Amino acid sequence: MDKPMIRIHDLATDKVIDREMTDEEFEAFEAEQAKEAERKAEAEAKAAEKQALLDRLGITEREARLLLS
Amino acid sequence: MAKQTFSVGQVLTAAQMTSLQETAMGGGAASAKTASYTLVAADAGTTISMTSTSATTITVNTGLFAAGDTVFIQNLGSANCTITAGTATVNTASSLALAQHESGTLYFTSAGASTFYKSAGAVASSGGITLLSTTTLSGSSTTISSISQSYKNLYGIVYGLSYGTSNNEFVMLPNNDASSAFFNGVGASASSTVAAFGVNAQSIWLTGNPTNSLRTSTENAWTFEIQNYTAGSLIPKTFNVNGKFRDSGNTFEARQFSQGGIIGVGAITSLVFKTLSGYTLNSGTVLLYGVN
């Protein structure tokens, strides 16, 4: 499988290099993606929980904010 | 005087001798340019003098010069003039961009390789701002590396960003250090649907959680500052980010800002721009300035 491309602009030479990630970079990239997917899932679960609560109360988010202000 | 090829028995004129003397003393007439220019073989040994109010380039191609040839380049214009490697290699220990009244010597080590020696004294000790680079965003990340350490602060403008796949945080990571670096501060958003810039994270977020953001809008734009960027990791650096992100739900611009401190990062020599999920950056430009 092709690895993702990255761009490096080296200001010492003003050269722009487009290349595939190295194995080491790709490993770090995959680890970051796994961490990000976990963070996103947590955020989505929290949003769903919040929406379920609003639905049970029968009010909108804006009305909930008004209540708490 | 341009580099000459003399023949046996040739008689030199007084004008040629005067010109040669001027060149030997580092002076002589300059070849004036008012727009971007590509060097030609006859430029060997001469001075190229750029005068333009718009950004220009001096392009260096291979096969035109011999080892030992030099070209002196000066910028008298108000906009930057950048020495650009065309088909030849151009090495330098500093920046290839010449601000107004800066200069340098291009020295060829072979027909296809040269080194640019920027003249000293070019960096203003106070009150100056210099465009260091113009970088087009591309790939799953774009890194600006070898950032000059000759300034006090960095100032940047990011505009025209669009990226693929799905909405995600667009971030900036000094020195690509996501393990020891930490950025904390405060952030806010003027939009009810686009969240504030992220703070207390391991990268500087240019967008908050962009659930409702229009990631393909080329109207998205930010400015950022990093103060004291050459300081070691134990000395505090601070950052400011201001910007807007088109809100797809409400078709207005979500204005956002964040300010904070940078902890655990040594002297900043590179900046990485990416989304947290590594989505492909389809367009966008970063202008990076050094400020004294």
Q: Among B227, B223, B235, which Cα is nearest to B265's?
A: B235
Interface mutation vs chain A, best among B58, B115, B138, B275, most A CBs within 10 Å? B138
Question: Are B178 and A33 a contacting pair at CB < 8 A?
Answer: no
Give the span between the Cα atoms of B78 and A59, in whole angstroms.
Answer: 60
The answer to whether the CB atoms of A32 and B178 lie below 8 A apart is yes
CA of A9 vs chain B CAs: smallest distance (Å): 5
Most B-contacting residue of A1, A13, A44 (CB-CB within 10 A), to test interface: A13
B173 with B143: CB under 8 angstroms?
no
> Domain limits of chain B?
14-118, 129-291
Query: What one-letter code names the amino acid at B264?
Result: G
Predicted TM-score of the model (pTM):
0.64
At B290 the pLDDT is 94
SS3 content of chain A, % helix, strand, coil (to 5): 60, 15, 20
Q: Which residues contact B181 (CB under 8 A, 6 or more apart)?
A: B173, B174, B175, B202, B203, B262, B263, B264, B265
Nearest CA in chain A to B210: A40
Q: Are B232 and B159 in contact (CB under 8 A)?
A: no
- The minimal CB distance from B92 to the residues A9, A12, A40 is found for A12
Instruction: Report CB contact under 8 Å: B141, A6.
Output: yes
For the cut 90, the answer to whether the pLDDT of residue B3 exceeds it is no
- Cross-chain CB nearest to B145 (options A5, A9, A21): A9
DSSP E strands in A1-69: the ranges are 5-10, 15-20
B129-291 folds as: Jelly Rolls (2.60.120)
Could you tell me which residues come within 8 angstroms of residue B213 by beta carbon, excluding any fewer than 6 positions away?
B167, B194, B207, B220, B245, B246, B247, B248, B254
Provide ipTM, 2 decimals: 0.74
Taking CA atoms, B241 is separated from B48, B154, B158, B174, B226, in Å, by 39, 12, 11, 14, 9
Query: For B53-108, what is each residue's pLDDT tens digit?
Result: 888 899 999 999 888 888 888 888 878 888 999 999 998 877 788 887 888 888 89
CA A11 to chain centre: 29
Bridge-partner residues for B127, per DSSP? none
CA-angle at B198, arms to B193 and B202, nearest 5°: 155
Contact B72, B118 (CB under 8 A): no
Contacts of B95 in chain A (CB under 8 A): 11-12, 14
Q: Which two tokens stand for residue A17?
A: 């290099």
Average pLDDT over residues A26-52: 87
User: Which chain A residues have a beta carbon less than 8 Å from that of B92?
Assistant: 12-14
* A24 contacts in chain B (CB < 8 Å): none
